[in-house]
A and B are shown apart, each in its own frame.
Chain A
């Protein structure tokens, strides 16, 4: 068994380094800026319409939101684990981590679809009121990011199989998983803001 001191990754950590490609971080910042505006607009719209927002918020499925948060943070943990495993040349474990992260993403989408179906069945839509306009547009915009994140995880899996990642190189893996963590980060703000805070 290796000690921490002998671990190649631990040695790499002695120097400060941005994981993945610079381009993905620029892209992530652009996405996060867009969501920041979205979050702020929601919060200020609520401030001007507290009664409506607080009443409508009670009709949301808070438990579905909680389960989805658990799925995303767990998916993030699996993705982070996949990178660690690849660095240690444990490629089977890296593949497993990516698959499990994908499964968490699929679970998230399934819960979200059920949640939407429930809302539509109850006759609620974007045009119901301002709160629901925000609820549908914010969560659906995020939903699309989960889909893109899963597509990226799928590409990473394919490249892992081709032997692109391992102790020699994890840069692509870091690049793709960074995006996946952003999707997680955005939901971590979205869930309390839209589902719980009142």
Chain B
């Protein structure tokens, strides 16, 4: 009964759980520093992409919609990264 699409959704969920636990673990372990922050942001980016492509099903949508939502993720991540970089000064 499981279609390829359903399997992909389940894999996405597994990765989302894994990413969440890694992010939390890095915080709980008290890890700090720019590379930790960048890693946490990168994990959030990948998680957001999984939701956009596999949960919202935009992988199969007209490209413009996929780009608009992925673009949102890129812009938000870039702004957070810029602000983080400024905070290091």
Interface residues of A (CB under 8 A from B): 1-2, 4, 7, 9-10, 13, 16-19, 25, 29, 32-33, 36, 39-40, 43-44, 46-47, 50, 62-63, 65-66, 69-70, 73-74, 76-77, 79-81, 83-84, 88, 90, 174, 178, 181-182, 184-185, 188-189, 191-193, 195-198
Contact with A along B52-89 (1 / 0, CB 8 A): 10111110111101001100110110011011101100
With beta carbons under 8 angstroms apart, the residue of A13, A70, A192, A195 that contacts B60 is A13
With A73-B16, A178-B56, A195-B27 in contact, do A36 and B72 touch (Cβ < 8 Å)?
A: yes
Beta-carbon contacts under 8 Å, B24-56 to A: 24, 26-28, 32, 37, 40-41, 43-44, 47-48, 51-52, 54-56
With A73-B13, A184-B51, A185-B48 in contact, do A1 and B1 touch (Cβ < 8 Å)?
A: yes
Of all A-B residue pairs in the complex, the 9 with the closest CB atoms, nearest first, are A43-B83, A66-B24, A77-B13, A73-B16, A47-B87, A196-B27, A47-B86, A40-B79, A69-B20
* Contacting residues, chain B, for A36 (C-beta < 8 A): 72, 75-76, 79
Q: How many residues of B contact A (CB 8 A)?
A: 51
Interface residues of B (CB under 8 A from A): 1, 3-6, 9-10, 12-13, 16-17, 20-21, 23-24, 26-28, 32, 37, 40-41, 43-44, 47-48, 51-52, 54-58, 60-63, 65, 68-69, 72-73, 75-76, 79-80, 82-84, 86-87
B78: shortest Cβ distance to chain A, in Å? Answer: 10
A149: shortest Cβ distance to chain B, in Å? Answer: 13
* Contacting residues, chain A, for B83 (C-beta < 8 A): 40, 43-44, 46-47
Pair A16/B40 contact, Cβ less than 8 Å: no
* Contacting residues, chain A, for B52 (C-beta < 8 A): 185
Docked complex Cα distance between A50 and B83 (Å): 11
**Would you give 30 A-B contacts (Cβ < 8 Å), ordered by A?**
A1-B1, A7-B3, A18-B62, A18-B65, A29-B68, A39-B79, A43-B79, A43-B80, A46-B83, A62-B24, A62-B28, A63-B24, A66-B23, A73-B16, A76-B13, A77-B55, A80-B9, A80-B57, A81-B6, A84-B3, A88-B3, A181-B56, A185-B51, A188-B51, A189-B76, A192-B43, A196-B27, A196-B40, A197-B84, A198-B32
